[in-house]
Amino acid sequence: MQTLSDFFTTSRAELALSALGRRVTPISRDTFTAFEQERQPWPLPWNGHAQVACALHWPALQGDPAIWFLSLPLDEQGLLVPAARDAFLDRLLLTLSTQPASTDVQPPGDVTQGILAQSNLMQDNLMQDNPLAFEPELHQRALLHARLSRRFEQPSSSHSDMARRYLMGDDTLNWQMLGLQGLADQVVAQDPAVTRALISRLDTLPREVVLPLCYLMEHGDTPADLLPSLWEAMGDARQRQDIETFCALLRAMLGSDDTRVGDWLDRILDDEDLMAADCLAAIAARGWHHLEHESRLARFLERLANCQDANFRPVVHDLALIPRLRLPILMMLRQAPADSSLGRLVREGNI
């Protein structure tokens, strides 16, 4: 057994792999296998790592999926550094070899399944003090659980119905009664009726609801029909000088693949007053796919180089690990005019 992919096959579990960090999104087994075999880079690097959630589910055992949150280090080309994965695999096999399978949960003829299905074992003996283990950001975790519930045909959380009623305009509820998991369930459900309600009342929702909704939608779940309302709300937030709400709305908008977002991003990059470090960080984190455009990428890099508060080097380094951006970024750095802000940073060795 040489890879985690080998182990997943042996486990006979239903498997759901998801990227975390840059975007919460499903990852195919073929993609993960190619990554483990160092045949292709991780598609969504985050802070120099491949953050991945591995959910294993055994329907016959009628339990919740076991979920591992792993942060696998990447090399300079975005490929797996295999030593860390190998150490985790060794630890996993050692855990399996030293723990008796519970006869209460063990399917006939499969000791591995019986052991792995014990969630306490998974968390206490395998993940505790594990250098690859990490705790996902709260909104990402809620979004992942909402998606996994649908993937494994499990019911939504107990907070889901109340969240739907609130978003639909039930005036008997207030925002303090909402649970984050319920909002995540509604974001994933993509209910057209809820989308219509959001379009009509987004400007009346309290900030305490708008912010978590945006943090959940920024991973590609923003309904296309809602985008113009987000753009309008960004203008209102700008007038109020509410940078946190502005950036949250921006991130939710940037998460969409809709072509209109690219046009709006062009307008943002043309606006000197919007080039704060928080806005640039939002573009890099959630709008990287809109930078797959030569002139837009060049403008973004120059804006980033001109912003004294921006962490230029780590931002560019992480963007350059994204397979589709790596070559364009490297070429632009090499060809940057000597008298430009970007060129000066390159000459000074800040990249």
Mean pLDDT by 10 residues, the chain (351 residues): 92 94 97 97 97 91 86 96 94 77 47 52 68 95 97 94 97 94 98 98 96 98 97 96 96 96 95 89 96 93 92 93 95 91 83 64
Specify the pLDDT at position 266: 95
**Contact (Cβ atoms closer than 8 angstroms) between residue 37 and residue 123:** no
| Nearest of 175, 180, 177, 193 to residue 143 by alpha carbon | 180
Round to whole Å and give the CA distance between 35 and 54. 14
Predicted TM-score (pTM) of this structure: 0.91
Which value, in Å, is the radius of gyration of the alpha carbons in the chain?
Answer: 22
Specify the pLDDT at position 85: 95
A 10 A CB-CB count for 170 gives 11
Angle subtended by helix axes 294-306 and 312-320, to nearest 10? 160
Specify the pLDDT at position 294: 82
The upper half-sphere exposure of residue 206, i.e. CA atoms within 13 Å in the direction of its Cβ, equals 8
**Domain residue limits, the chain:** 4-127
Specify the pLDDT at position 107: 45
Specify the pLDDT at position 95: 80
Specify the pLDDT at position 124: 59
For residue 210, the SS3 value is helix
**Contact (Cβ atoms closer than 8 angstroms) between residue 15 and residue 56:** yes
Round to whole Å and give the CA distance between 106 and 118. 9
| Nearest of 246, 311, 319, 267 to residue 288 by alpha carbon | 319
| Nearest of 342, 338, 269 to residue 300 by alpha carbon | 269
Specify the pLDDT at position 182: 98
Give pLDDT tens digits for 64-87. Answer: 888 999 999 999 999 999 999 999
Question: Residue type at 81?
Answer: V
